[in-house]
Structure 1
């Protein structure tokens, strides 16, 4: 559904009273919240919310909900862990899981939960270090400065530090995290209730999902971590019109990009991505049809590609809307006219937009080779391990400041944790995924391209993929550890088929990466800084930056919206969930729900919507009240919000969450999970024998 968006963010000015923005904690518009909602968050309130929030794995959000390390997130965020803990005989995705006792909590093979404990503005250091530099000098100096700051900050294995680029380079912050690397599964419902409605309902509302999972973080002593800051549970949950806040980790927005960058996304990147994802979905669906075990091991992959495909369709639709794009063009022209009208501003910033456009054109020329050699041209978890090991052997002997990002001293603990993962790998799925990527690489570059000939030789993609997977032992974490500790000598001596492929293609990949970093990335970074500074000079600094996968805070309220001339009410109920049940996937409720139907209070709010500004990555974010209490759990946005990467429309963009009362009702009456309820609401449950584990 297309619509004309009149957005303050398009012209670079601060939003008036719209619920717009994914705000950093050191620049939150507390006064604006007070002006609209009558509540002004204090610094102490902001600090508590920040410390009670968590990053879940590599791309989701979560929250601490008890002093004993209990963490709440979405089921779809924890699916990786749940699937890795499953077997053909014990499918936790299909049947759910509940640990009746602490001893029954299962350790996730490859999961980290982190807590943002400190934010430091380091913009001055970067501006000083890179002043007057361009191209390779700028890129090398920026990388070295990031490595230096992160290394000085990460004082132990339990600390991770990242330099965060804000406002396209207009500001730099250093984020310091506590890392929890022992994460154990406590509760997960069945997939049928967590993802009720499946892909047809994805990004839609009304919804009826119980998309929740609870895990627990442990300390190095093997005991549940003691958490000083956590969210308490609301007594009643969210009401219509109530002020709500969403702390979380929105992945990426592109509201501050130039027209040239948006044109590239619209004309090249998104169409190419959609074609590839559509084919990948088809391949995965065919793989699922091979049998029940193939369906089990690839279910997470299918869910992810379907979600991404639908999201990217929404993004392309937004950028293809002529009215919307015209506003983007007009906003940029207005800003450039103001810059060019002032001789000093023109001399400082005037060429930045043209330089970014030039860099985008340069990227168009190398995109296919960059994607094939350094991007997704060769995919699969085994190859990812191989490339990491080959590059670690090359990078670690270098001075820290000269290494590729990801191999710096500050990143080594996370790198070792990744390589030590005990998560299972499935050879048949690895072969299918690798075959697909090699086939697409040959299609993109052509069979006569030197890189294609180097990789494939005289083999077909499937024959090569099969030989590589069968000829690799990298699924064994002990093998990976030996290669990592053995360094270049071990890598050079290895006969592992996947290691040999990674070593073969690494010179080509490094060369195209170097070209990209110096001729594209460095130019865009440098000139994006100038565009950001021009906005600051003309409009002030009371702006929110684009999302970067780091912790942000949005504000809004529980509110319905109009769709196709009809009002969409802000709540659904648990009783109406059964009305949607058909008995056929994806609208088939699990037996546990059907058995408990007569015990449930039908009027209990199930899912609801708010005006909070969110994007992908906010999945698993808590929805909290002004009292910093849990009133819901974000799991999606409506389809109108899919264009939210490029702008926000308060009339229709909505965050979708599970209501806190639906969570309590389900835990109590469907799953008999009294141990969890007692942690969420101490003293609220009688001491009774728990239901059998699932």
Structure 2
């Protein structure tokens, strides 16, 4: 059956299977496989993609707010990224009276663009390999001694670069510390929101369609980067002017066809392509299922209240999306790893390496011993981390406990206290204590039931296994708790006057010491620190050291394989072809969806599949302008074989000539395991078509003034 499945894929996708990367790849842009890229259809040179001495495509690609990617699309600093990357900002600007999440936002001119304090955009100025300088004087040292020397070398090398104001140097390891690279970065901080479609477009399909194809989501929004009069980074000021980029991306609205060359340029977050089989097995059978279970309980409770209450929907929109994103991704990851037989393939590869290099067998045997010994601690770590992360009551308790410790140790100065209050103000703005009491009650019951007694506080399993009893207890405690937002200090709650609550730090600390919610969290943390934390970390340190050894063994033994470094949130290029897929027997996904598919999914008034009336009118009139394809349809999303991951959200998808043809925003469900095991049969990245982006800006938003800024390739 497996052979037949592979043959079917070959028959359906001959050009893709023949020319796509068979092992994926996220390549450092100074070390591109230019020959292979040109063989696959690229028309430009590697220098046009990355050149530190003159303008190149890299000057238009930025890291957005530390976690996504974005790109400059006009000579006046217009910035394109995903709707989900800017979702927090849309939410912060939304109120019940002015609900931008529902209605969208489009500035009519630059004076209407909205500032977003704290948002950053990083441009890569240059990349330098510094391996020799960083690893100098480490030969023959113990791992701990080497770590100390490397840390010092990084500090020295970082300071050796001459930087401008607003510029920094970041040094990152790759290949588990076998190489090091320095990144010279310009950071801009005056970033203003220009346009965002309503969630019914930008988030169409919401959680049901997340991580799946066919997809019909207009997941994009627009910002503008501002600079000082010298075109350098500057804090927000009315005197700032639009940033003038060294390069901006022309936008192509040419029709796409299967087999077209594409490349994606961005900041992928984290991959683990070189793990041993035992590590992947633990992810599939233990770690992912544990994290999924906690989030499933959380999401069910949030979803019910968000559907019933509009204020809650706005408060929890961004948090819900974050929680659901990983929850669904992990499920697809398990399915993909099992379907692609990843564990067996890794075992076969390990045997092949061991036959060429006997030292590999010793390494694999040691991996098996370490991961097996670490397993119970790793599982408890997964549950504990998710419980504290998803039960906001416990998150708050953790923060207040840190505050108490800092005050009592004399480390809470005025500035630190002010920063803490500011963070809390933002947190409580989007917090519902009654709703979270229900979430907390349920995740605590799950934790009590799933965790062996020796990992829990004394009596916890007996006391907290019943979610109804938990809710009764937590509700009672919350009525008098400052951290829940319901208890008072100096006649105020954190909701109505946070400054009054914090007016007397010592009195607040005494109040918090008696808070049962803090005592509950403290007992959980104490048990975790005593029974799990050190034990897990001791094994992990040994595993990390062994992983570096194994990485070196793979690279020195397998001479036929071209290795690329795992993603680590630094600038990378991945390339492939526009392609549909054959994920299951007799099931084939075409490579492109259209506006007609949006209307097929349309459910009036639905939380996920409603469609704005104006978009319906445009569809009915077929008022598509120049954005229709040769079949008279507006393309919405398309897939290709580029190897992407988290952090690639918002990355530009570029054609053979370096023109923007789409905006990366997701991966196909069957290929979400590509962080660990890229399989060209299933691994597809999903992009918003450039035609749909421009169609929404032009026809839906009537924002032709933005279209006029761009360079459109017809």
Q: Is the 8 A contact 1:110 1:422 kept in 2?
A: no
Distance apart, 1:331 and its partner CA: 0.6
Aligned counterpart in structure 1 of residue 101 of structure 2, from 64, 75, 93: 93
Task: Indicate yes or no: 2:253 matched with 1:236.
Answer: yes
> Measured at CA, do residues 420 and 244 of structure 1 come closer, stay the same or move farther in structure 2, by a change above 3 Å?
farther
Task: State the partner residue of 1:167.
Answer: 175
Distance apart, 1:530 and its partner CA: 0.9
Task: State the partner residue of 2:484.
Answer: 469
User: Once the two structures are superposed, what CA deviation does each residue of 1:107-154 show, in whole Å capped at 9, x if it has no partner?
Assistant: 235533322333333434554465555576666666666677668779
Q: Is the 8 A contact 2:594 2:636 kept in 1?
A: yes
- Note the 1:50-129 alignment, pairs <5 A: 50-128=58-136
> Measured at CA, do residues 654 and 88 of structure 1 come closer, stay the same or move farther in structure 2, by a change above 3 Å?
same
- Note the 1:286-297 alignment, pairs <5 A: 286-297=304-315
CA distance in 1, matches of 2:409, 2:442: 30
CA distance in 2, matches of 1:78, 1:448: 43
- Note the 1:138-177 alignment, pairs <5 A: 158-159=166-167, 161-177=169-185
Task: State the partner residue of 2:362.
Answer: 351
> Measured at CA, do residues 507 and 117 of structure 1 come closer, stay the same or move farther in structure 2, by a change above 3 Å?
farther
Aligned counterpart in structure 1 of residue 28 of structure 2, from 7, 18, 24: 24
Task: State the partner residue of 1:360.
Answer: 371
3-state SS of the aligned residue for 1:75? coil
Task: State the partner residue of 1:608.
Answer: 638
- Note the 1:308-323 alignment, pairs <5 A: 308-321=326-339, 323=341
Aligned counterpart in structure 2 of residue 226 of structure 1, from 218, 233, 243: 243
CA distance in 1, matches of 2:27, 2:422: 30
TM-score by length of 1: 0.80
> Measured at CA, do residues 285 and 248 of structure 1 come closer, stay the same or move farther in structure 2, by a change above 3 Å?
same
Distance apart, 1:552 and its partner CA: 1.5
Task: Indicate yes or no: 2:607 matched with 1:592.
Answer: no
User: Once the two structures are superposed, what CA deviation does each residue of 1:164-199 show, in whole Å capped at 9, x if it has no partner?
Assistant: 342233333333433233332211111111222333
Q: Is the 8 A contact 1:274 1:312 kept in 2?
A: yes
3-state SS of the aligned residue for 2:268? coil
Task: Indicate yes or no: 2:604 matched with 1:583.
Answer: yes
Task: Indicate yes or no: 2:700 matched with 1:670.
Answer: yes
3-state SS of the aligned residue for 1:680? coil
Task: State the partner residue of 2:285.
Answer: 267
User: Once the two structures are superposed, what CA deviation does each residue of 1:447-498 show, in whole Å capped at 9, x if it has no partner?
Assistant: 8866477999998445456623225977899869x99xx9x99997895968
3-state SS of the aligned residue for 2:40? helix
User: Once the two structures are superposed, what CA deviation does each residue of 1:212-250 show, in whole Å capped at 9, x if it has no partner?
Assistant: 111223332522452423432234345213321111222
User: Once the two structures are superposed, what CA deviation does each residue of 1:299-356 show, in whole Å capped at 9, x if it has no partner?
Assistant: 333333333222211211233348443211101111122111xxxxx3xx66333333
Instruction: Decide which moves more: 110-119 or 502-511.
Output: 502-511
Task: Indicate yes or no: 2:557 matched with 1:557.
Answer: no
Q: Is the 8 A contact 2:253 2:712 kept in 1?
A: no
CA distance in 1, matches of 2:285, 2:120: 37
TM-score by length of 2: 0.78
> Measured at CA, do residues 382 and 594 of structure 1 come closer, stay the same or move farther in structure 2, by a change above 3 Å?
same
Task: State the partner residue of 1:382.
Answer: 396
Aligned counterpart in structure 1 of residue 345 of structure 2, from 300, 309, 327: 327
CA distance in 2, matches of 1:76, 1:663: 15
Q: Is the 8 A contact 2:75 2:244 kept in 1?
A: yes
Instruction: Decide which moves more: 258-267 or 587-596.
Output: 587-596
Instruction: Note the residue ranges of structure 2 that are not aligned, 5 or more in a row.
Output: 10-16, 227-233, 626-631
3-state SS of the aligned residue for 1:634? strand
3-state SS of the aligned residue for 2:551? helix
Task: Indicate yes or no: 2:267 matched with 1:249.
Answer: yes
Instruction: Decide which moves more: 634-643 or 195-204.
Output: 195-204
Distance apart, 1:22 and its partner CA: 1.5
Q: Is the 8 A contact 2:279 2:371 kept in 1?
A: yes
Task: State the partner residue of 2:231.
Answer: none
CA distance in 2, matches of 1:156, 1:477: 42
> Measured at CA, do residues 552 and 446 of structure 1 come closer, stay the same or move farther in structure 2, by a change above 3 Å?
same
CA distance in 2, matches of 1:395, 1:616: 39
CA distance in 2, matches of 1:418, 1:329: 51
Instruction: Decide which moves more: 164-173 or 79-88.
Output: 164-173
Aligned counterpart in structure 2 of residue 529 of structure 1, from 537, 543, 548: 548
> Measured at CA, do residues 517 and 666 of structure 1 come closer, stay the same or move farther in structure 2, by a change above 3 Å?
same
- Larger of the two Rg values belongs to structure: 2
Task: State the partner residue of 2:558.
Answer: 539
Instruction: Note the residue ranges of structure 1 that are not aligned, 5 or more in a row.
Output: 8-14, 341-345, 398-411, 685-694
Aligned counterpart in structure 2 of residue 41 of structure 1, from 45, 69, 74: 45
Distance apart, 1:633 and its partner CA: 0.9
Q: Is the 8 A contact 1:120 1:174 kept in 2?
A: yes
Query: What is the aligned residue count?
Result: 651
Q: Is the 8 A contact 1:163 1:173 kept in 2?
A: yes
Q: Is the 8 A contact 1:435 1:462 kept in 2?
A: no
